[in-house]
A and B are shown apart, each in its own frame.
Chain A
Amino acid sequence: MSTPGIQPKPFNPHIRRNPPIEGELEAIANAQKGDPKAFEMLYALHKRRVYSLCLRMLGNIAEAEDLTQEAFLQLFRKISTFRGDSAFSTWLHRLAVNVVLMHLRKKGLPQISLEESLEPAQDDGPRKDIGTRDLTLAGSIDRVTLERAVENLPPGYRLVFVLHDVEGYEHNEIADMLACSIGNSKSQLHKARMKLRELLRTGERKEQII
């Protein structure tokens, strides 16, 4: 459907999990005009992904709900500035990521500063795995185990891992959301997977000892 104000963008093969949602363009255009029903529809379409991102980053239901609320209030204030240059869900995710980052910065991060983990130092490469013979993970990870391991990632790693491997965003989109380079996003993702492997293998060893 063609909607005044927003021109549909050509299909972008890089946007894997953000296909246009039926009725979304019209809802965006109407919400931009202040239609509360249209805004409610946008909330219904996107609340789950925004909430899940907040929950993964904070690990706390009450805080995640507060930030979901804040993200959608910001959406209400800013929706008139959406021009359709990126998928709406990507634009909304960027907004939600900013809300989460602001919150984490206010709280002070428990393990590692986000700036640090998004701006890797020269010697901050993943630890090499050389010469150790050990079990592999294949077939051993269930949702709960992986969820727990992701919770233990440093926030910067966790954010890139969730956005790329869970949500399906491409590195160029993540770089745009986090205002970092594409190379930085790739580097953070690799480190996140390496750290997850370490966490999952440590967990398996502990289970074997018990």
Chain B
Amino acid sequence: MTQNSLNTKDTMKMDCAQFQDRLPELFESGADLSTNQHLRTCTNCSALVRDLEYIAQQAKLLLPLHDPSPEVWTNIRSAIQNNGFQQEEDSSVNHR
């Protein structure tokens, strides 16, 4: 479905339930929701869209900040050295 077909024409006469049913599709289509007719007239759905966009933006605050403790690498190295883990062989390489 194209961005335009998802946007104003299809959602112009929607009620809130219909609009919210299609909201995941609208978000993923990359449609410009600021021009959406339903949102122009519905403060409730406008607030919902603002909140969901805000949550998606704020999620970037949660990018990784911490490393595991140094013991994790020490344990990995010991396990590899002591247990002699065998690497799985790539069959496509072996058949060359």
Is B62 in contact with A166, judged by CB distance below 8 angstroms?
yes
In whole angstroms, what is the CA distance A3 to B87 when docked? Answer: 20
Q: Give me the 3 closest cross-chain CB pairs, A-B, nearest first.
A: A52-B64, A165-B59, A190-B24
Residues of A contacting B68 in the complex (Cβ-Cβ under 8 angstroms) = 47-48, 51, 64-65, 68
A181 within 8 A of B: no
From A20-28, A72-80, A101-109, give the one contacting chain B: A72-80
Q: Is the CB of B93 closer than 8 A to any CB of chain A?
A: yes
A165 near B24 (CB under 8 angstroms)?
A: no
Q: Does B1 contact A (CB under 8 A)?
A: no
21 contacts between A and B (CB under 8 A): A43-B73, A52-B66, A56-B62, A64-B68, A65-B72, A69-B76, A77-B87, A78-B87, A80-B87, A80-B90, A83-B90, A83-B92, A134-B47, A136-B47, A137-B51, A138-B51, A161-B59, A165-B59, A166-B59, A197-B52, A197-B55
Set of chain A residues within 8 Å of B27, measured between Cβ atoms: 190
Indicate if A58 sits at the interface (CB-CB under 8 A).
no
B60 within 8 A of partner (CB): yes
Interface check B43, CB cutoff 8 A: yes
Q: How far is the CA of A97 from the CA of B52 in the complex (A)?
A: 25
Q: Is the interface of A mostly helix, strand, loop or mixed?
A: helix
In whole angstroms, what is the CA distance A129 to B16 when docked? Answer: 8
What residues of A have a CB within 8 angstroms of the CB of B45 in the complex?
129
Number of A residues, CB within 8 Å of B: 60
Q: Are B16 and A136 in contact, CB atoms less than 8 angstroms apart?
A: no
In the complex, what distance in Å separates the CA atom of A199 from the CA atom of B66?
25
Give the chain A neighbours of B51 by CB distance below 8 A.
136-138, 197
Binary contact track A125-159/B, C-beta < 8 Å → 1, others 0: 11011111110111001110011001000000000
Known: A68-B68, A69-B75. A81 touches B88 (CB 8 A): yes
Are A51 and B79 neighbours in the complex by a CB distance under 8 Å? Answer: no
Is there contact, CB below 8 Å, between B50 and A136?
Answer: yes
* Residue with the highest number of chain A CB atoms closer than 10 Å, among B45, B50, B72, B90: B72
List the A residue with the shortest CB-CB distance to B45: A129
The answer to whether A129 touches B71, judged by C-beta atoms less than 8 angstroms apart, is no
A141 x B88 contact (CB < 8 A): no
CB contacts (< 8 Å) of B92 on chain A: these are: 83
B52 touches A78 (CB 8 A): no
Docked CA distance A142–B54 (Å): 12
Query: Is A94 located at the chain interface by the 8 A CB criterion?
Result: no
CA distance A45 to B75 in the complex (A): 17
The B13-32 residues at the A interface (CB cut-off 8 A) are: 16-17, 20-21, 23-24, 27-28
Extra A-B contacts (20), CB below 8 Å, given A48-B68, A137-B50:
A39-B80, A47-B68, A52-B63, A65-B68, A69-B79, A76-B85, A77-B86, A78-B88, A79-B87, A130-B17, A131-B16, A133-B44, A136-B47, A137-B55, A138-B54, A143-B62, A161-B59, A165-B59, A171-B28, A190-B23
